[in-house]
Structure 1
Amino acid sequence: MEALFVHGMGRSSISGWPLLFQLRRAGLQTRSFSYLVSMDPFTAIQARLEKQIAEIASSGNYILIGHSLGGVLIRAALGSLQNDVPPPEHVFLLGSPINPSRLAQQFSPNILFRTLTRDCGNLLASAERMSVVGPTNQPTTSIVGVRGISWKRGPFKGEENDGVVSLSEVGAEWLTDEVRLPIVHGLLPASNQVARIILERLNA
Structure 2
Amino acid sequence: MSASENKPVSQPLQALFVHGMGRTPLSAFPLLSRLRDHGLQTYGFHYFVALESFATIKDRLVRQISAIAAKGDYIVIGHSLGGVLLRAALNALPEGTRQPQQLFLLGSPVTASRVAGRIRNLLPFQLISGDCGQLLSSPERMSAIGAVSVPTIAIVGNKGIKGKYSPFGDEDNDGVVSISEAYAAWAEKEILLPVMHTLMPSNRLVSETLIAHLHPARPV
- The TM-score with structure 2 as length reference comes to 0.91
Q: Does 2:123 match 1:108?
A: no
Count of paired positions: 204
Moved beyond 4 Å, runs of 4+: none
The residue aligned with 1:179 is 191
Q: For 1:115-153, what per-residue CA distance to the aligned partner results, in whole angstroms no more than 9, with x for missing partners?
A: 110100000000000000111101100001100001145
Over the aligned positions, Cα root-mean-square deviation in angstroms equals 0.9
- Aligned partner of residue 117 in structure 1, secondary structure: helix
Distance in 2 separating the partners of 1:195 and 1:183:
12
Q: Does 2:170 match 1:158?
A: yes
The CA deviation at 1:190 is 0.2
Equivalent of residue 64 in structure 2, options 52, 55, 78: 52
Distance in 1 separating the partners of 2:165 and 2:34:
38
The residue aligned with 2:129 is 117
Unpaired runs of at least 5, structure 2: 1-12
- Aligned partner of residue 186 in structure 1, secondary structure: coil
Amino acid at match of 1:101: S
Q: For 1:148-179, what per-residue CA distance to the aligned partner results, in whole angstroms no more than 9, with x for missing partners?
A: 00114521021000000000000021111011
Between Structure 1 and Structure 2, the one with more helix by share is 1
Equivalent of residue 130 in structure 1, options 127, 131, 142: 142
Amino acid at match of 1:172: A
The residue aligned with 1:170 is 182
- The TM-score with structure 1 as length reference comes to 0.98
Amino acid at match of 2:197: H
- Taking only the aligned residue pairs, the percentage that are identical comes to 48
The CA deviation at 1:202 is 1.6
Matches within 5 A, 1:89-100: 89-100=101-112
Q: Does 2:158 match 1:146?
A: yes
Q: For 1:64-120, what per-residue CA distance to the aligned partner results, in whole angstroms no more than 9, with x for missing partners?
A: 000000000000000110111110000000000000000000111211001110100
Q: Does 2:34 match 1:19?
A: no
The CA deviation at 1:180 is 0.6
- Aligned partner of residue 112 in structure 1, secondary structure: helix
Unpaired runs of at least 5, structure 1: none
Contact 2:102–2:215, Cα closer than 8 Å, also in 1: no
